[in-house]
């Protein structure tokens, strides 16, 4: 089983923000594959199903972004999964809007949800898919930026990026990580 985690903040006030693109990709995958992500357990919303031939657990932590690792650790422990079974989808303010970056492992690069997961797991060798939500403008507050919605002029590119990210996850499951990295990393 693969554990696909979308990072975001719980609650309707955050639903359409840049910080919640991870949740939105999980929602897109759930809709495409008929998986209900509504079971509350381990401080997360969970949905179990299949994407192609692969059994998956879709996860939306219900902690806030900075504490995502708590929910992820609990889910992995309960289902007896290792970090090598984990794929985390999150926002990245260091990538241009719509740019995707799929990696086998790495540093959190300022993404506090990834940092929390690394701290709670005690390792950073898990797959992550970063989605560019637009680069932070000089002098702008990072928190205010990621907690803001996309501007109308950005919406089409953001929606395309979310669908491309869902495609990249499906490709990684179907054809392997190297194929997905070659096709979707921009």
Positions annotated as catalytic residues are: 19
3-state helix, strand, coil in the chain (%, to 5): 45, 25, 30
CA distances from 82 to 1, 87, 148, 183 (A): 10, 11, 34, 26
Contact by Cβ (8 Å): 168, 36: no
| CA-based torsion, 125, 110, 17, 164: positive or negative | negative
Query: How many of the other CB atoms lie within 10 Å of CB of 42?
Result: 20
End-to-end alpha-carbon separation of the chain, Å? 28
Calpha distance 56→50 (Å, rounded): 5
Task: Give the single-character DSSP code of 18.
Answer: G
Is residue 86 within 8 Å of residue 125, measured between CB atoms? no
């Amino acid at each position: 089983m693969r554990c696909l985690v979308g990072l975001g903040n719980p609650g309707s006030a955050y639903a359409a923000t840049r910080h919640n693109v991870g949740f939105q990709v999980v929602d897109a995958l759930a809709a495409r594959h008929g998986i209900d992500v509504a079971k509350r357990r381990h401080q997360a919303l969970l949905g179990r199903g299949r994407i192609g031939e692969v059994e998956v657990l879709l996860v939306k932590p219900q902690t806030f972004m900075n504490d995502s690792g708590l929910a992820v650790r609990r889910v992995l422990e309960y289902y007896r999964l290792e970090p090598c079974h984990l794929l985390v989808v999150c926002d990245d303010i260091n990538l241009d809007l719509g740019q995707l970056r799929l990696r086998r492992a790495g540093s959190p690069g300022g993404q506090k949800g990834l940092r929390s997961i690394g701290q709670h797991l005690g390792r950073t060798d898990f797959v992550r898919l970063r989605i560019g939500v637009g680069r932070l403008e000089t002098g702008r507050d990072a928190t205010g930026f990621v907690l803001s919605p996309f501007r109308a002029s950005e919406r089409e590119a953001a929606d395309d990026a979310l669908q491309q990210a869902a495609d990249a996850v499906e490709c990684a499951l179907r054809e392997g990580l190297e194929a997905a990295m070659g096709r979707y990393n921009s």
